[in-house]
Structure 1
Amino acid sequence: MTKTITKAPFRADHVGSLLRPDNLLQARKDYKEENISAVELRELETKEIERIVNKQIEVGLELVTDGEFRRTWWHLDFLEHLNGLEGYVPEKGYVFEGVETERYNVRNSGGISFDPDHPFIKDFKEFNAIVGGRAVAKQTIPSPNQLFHPNMRDEHIYPDIEDFATDVIQTYRDAIKAFYDAGVRYLQLDDVYIAALSSPDISYENSPYTREYLIDLALRVINGVLADKPEDLVVTTHLCRGNYKSTYAFGGSYALIAPTLFAKEKVDGFFLEYDDERSGDFGPLEYIPNGGANVVLGVVTSKTGELEDKEAINARVIEATKYVPLEQLCLSPQCGFASTHHGNNLTEEDQWNKLKFIVDTANEIWG
């Protein structure tokens, strides 16, 4: 039987997370205060996921996500359900531009492996049933490289970072197989860590490893995870510089990582942030192989509600064709609209207008 290859990433795509409605935020609060049951919360989540699936299809998207409506954070909810990791409340939250985030994180508590009963597998099956073949159901998870942030690895459990990498690779290989068996054919790995490796805002002077070594290791981890990827599974990666209540964590172009990661990472597409001057220019795209991975240009911001000028967006796409052929380019917001449950500073109407704008603009460019 011939396998059907999903044509993702799509000309008009989006990163994944969507603004949580007020009733869902209230339900989460009620659940924490033990005013409603887990069953009642899940029923409301399901109802809201059904609504946003329909809305994504209505605005013309060929892919849909569950908006990450069953999550609090884009990454921590997935990671804390891996064996060998646990959630905890640190003394400080993540540091963003002018703000400290809500305090929650994960830490290494034992040997890392994938739990076959990971809740995301059930979540995807239910989400995919809601979609019912009307669009491509896209699953998003944090990249394996998120586990290489400083202080994430317990050096008593894993004295050697290479041994840690070996277990992380196997964990994600097992995760990808479980998602594939559950019906996933479009998977996105969200990665702040790799983007940080290219940032001049972040110093590695006090690190036991050089930036060059860590870039090489990041490539080996991703390619190790994807070594036996099924041919009909599309895997993309989103490189993010932080997204919390419309703020960011750092800046910097992709120049330092491009010769290694853009040139050699075996993904089907790169979602890249290009919505402001912090992102640098399109020059690093010259390392994308001709006929290789697609580049999804995140030139529409998810951080504000103001709609971009269509001619300006068209001009930016044309500018990018100096480095990557038009047939390898796509459009999306630069990040999700709600990487955490707090959401960015725009309205749900703004969000849908942005996504419809991307669909309309992509249709004009590519037909």
Structure 2
Amino acid sequence: MPNTRKLLKPPFRADEVGSLLRPNGLKEARLRRQNGLISKEELRKVENEEITRIVEKQKEIGLQTVTDGELRRAWWHFDFLEGLDGVEGFDTDSGIQFHNQQTKSHAIKVVGKLDFTTHPMIEDFKFLNGIAGSHTAKMTIPSPSMLHLRGTLDTDLYQNEDDLFQDLAQTYKKAIGAFYDAGCRYLQLDDTSWAYFCSDQQLKDMRLRGLDPDRMKKLYAKTINEAVSDRPDDLTITMHICRGNFRSTWISSGGYEPVAETLFGNLNIDGFFLEYDTDRAGGFEPLRFVQRSDLRIVLGLVTSKSGELEAAEEIKRRIDEASQFVPLNQLCLSPQCGFASTEEGNLLTEDQQWAKLRHVVSIADDVWK
């Protein structure tokens, strides 16, 4: 009997956010490369082998989409942003502060006019697409908002902030076009800023940095909409709203109410991956702002931060609760985030990671029969 939960277009009933735990062999190869013991080509060979293995694992589990697990990256955002024209990475005195954890010391800065000419991740996607077979290859990149939120700026370069955001939008428009030309039909923008706007502590920190959160929300929404405005009809673009994901810790807390109307009513995105694995995300009431019948909401009800499997019946109950605000046929299920937003990864085993993804597929099979 055919499985009727399967959708022809992403996001899918059982989906995934993107990043996967880095295998030990890959971690060792990256360290050897850093120490000059192997060549760039030798490291890429190891990466290709591991990516091929995890793609086959995703297919075996029953997912309709496959990612490369972001195995070639150290960071979910900096690696991509540093590849843009006019952006450089640099070492800092301290890392990004999470709940009782801090990342490695690294950041980005804008040192020239923003643009997109070429990028190594185009070839990375082509490799993924070449081994995806009949599955949909999903590419994940940071939202344009991340360059502004996480980057520093030479004020002599962009004295007018509007000019910065205009160039940023055009840069991303070119990037989206380049991924499309490489065969990408499923692109995800990862974004922590919208969860920050829901957090009293993060709003306070923004204001201490001299930032105006209300102006930022407007600029971010306008920039994203401009960036995706020329996308072809057969390119699906989703957004993952992240609350921070490093070594199983987090940054922001607060329900989606402060940003729900902007996200669901004003952003021209095809679907949203929303973290709903803990009460830090609040309730489903903000989903009442979903008024588009073509907008899919992917409920991140299965945590990627620990290996223990959630009770399937509880997940189904929560899906039913969310369906009081958004029709069931517009809902999907996924882990709340990736399993390794940075190369260090969350505190669970690879076997537990695969069990989590199997759990998502199994529950989706039961809910959307």
Please say if 1:83 is aligned against 2:64: no
Distance 2:127 2:320 in 1: 40
In structure 2, the residue matched to 1:195 is 195
Please say if 1:100 is aligned against 2:102: yes
1:259-270 superposed matches below 5 A: 259-270=261-272
1:115-194 superposed matches below 5 A: 115-116=117-118, 118-131=119-132, 133-149=133-149, 152-194=152-194
Range that drifts further, 217-226 or 179-188: 217-226
* CA distance 1:356–1:151, change in 2 (3 Å): closer
Matched residue SS, 1:362: helix
Distance 2:266 2:135 in 1: 30
In structure 2, the residue matched to 1:278 is 280
| 1:42-76 Cα shifts (integer Å, max 9, x gaps) | 00000000000000000000000000011111111
Range that drifts further, 202-211 or 245-254: 202-211
| 1:93-149 Cα shifts (integer Å, max 9, x gaps) | 000000111111211111110122x10001111111111x22000000000010121
Aligned match of 1:49 in 48, 51, 72? 51
In structure 2, the residue matched to 1:111 is 113
Identical counterparts, % of pairs = 48
What is the TM-score of this pair, normalised by structure 1? Answer: 0.96
In structure 2, the residue matched to 1:325 is 327
Aligned match of 1:225 in 216, 227, 250? 227
Contact 1:275 1:301 in 2 (8 A): yes
1:196-345 superposed matches below 5 A: 196-202=196-202, 203=204, 204-206=206-208, 208-345=210-347
Q: Aligned-pair distance for 1:150?
A: 6.1
What is the TM-score of this pair, normalised by structure 2? Answer: 0.95
In structure 2, the residue matched to 1:13 is 15
| 1:181-213 Cα shifts (integer Å, max 9, x gaps) | 000000000001222122212114345553222
Distance 1:29 1:238 in 2: 30
**Structure 1 residue identity aligned to 2:183:** G
Distance 1:90 1:169 in 2: 27
Distance 1:34 1:324 in 2: 53
Distance 2:291 2:276 in 1: 19
Contact 1:195 1:240 in 2 (8 A): yes
Distance 1:25 1:195 in 2: 30
Q: What runs of 5+ residues in structure 2 fail to find an aligned partner?
A: 1-6
Q: What runs of 5+ residues in structure 1 fail to find an aligned partner?
A: none
| 1:139-177 Cα shifts (integer Å, max 9, x gaps) | 000000101216533322112211110000000000000
Runs of 4+ with >4 A deviation: none
Distance 2:241 2:34 in 1: 32
* CA distance 1:197–1:153, change in 2 (3 Å): farther
Range that drifts further, 189-198 or 300-309: 189-198
Q: RMSD of aligned C-alpha atoms?
A: 1.3
| 1:6-61 Cα shifts (integer Å, max 9, x gaps) | 51000000000000110100000000001111111000000000000000000000
Contact 1:145 1:194 in 2 (8 A): no
The alignment covers a number of residue pairs equal to 361
* CA distance 1:332–1:223, change in 2 (3 Å): same
In structure 2, the residue matched to 1:30 is 32
Distance 2:65 2:344 in 1: 24
Q: Aligned-pair distance for 1:335?
A: 0.3
Contact 2:243 2:251 in 1 (8 A): yes
Contact 1:6 1:234 in 2 (8 A): no
Distance 1:150 1:227 in 2: 24
Distance 2:321 2:78 in 1: 36
| 1:270-300 Cα shifts (integer Å, max 9, x gaps) | 0000000111111111111240310000010
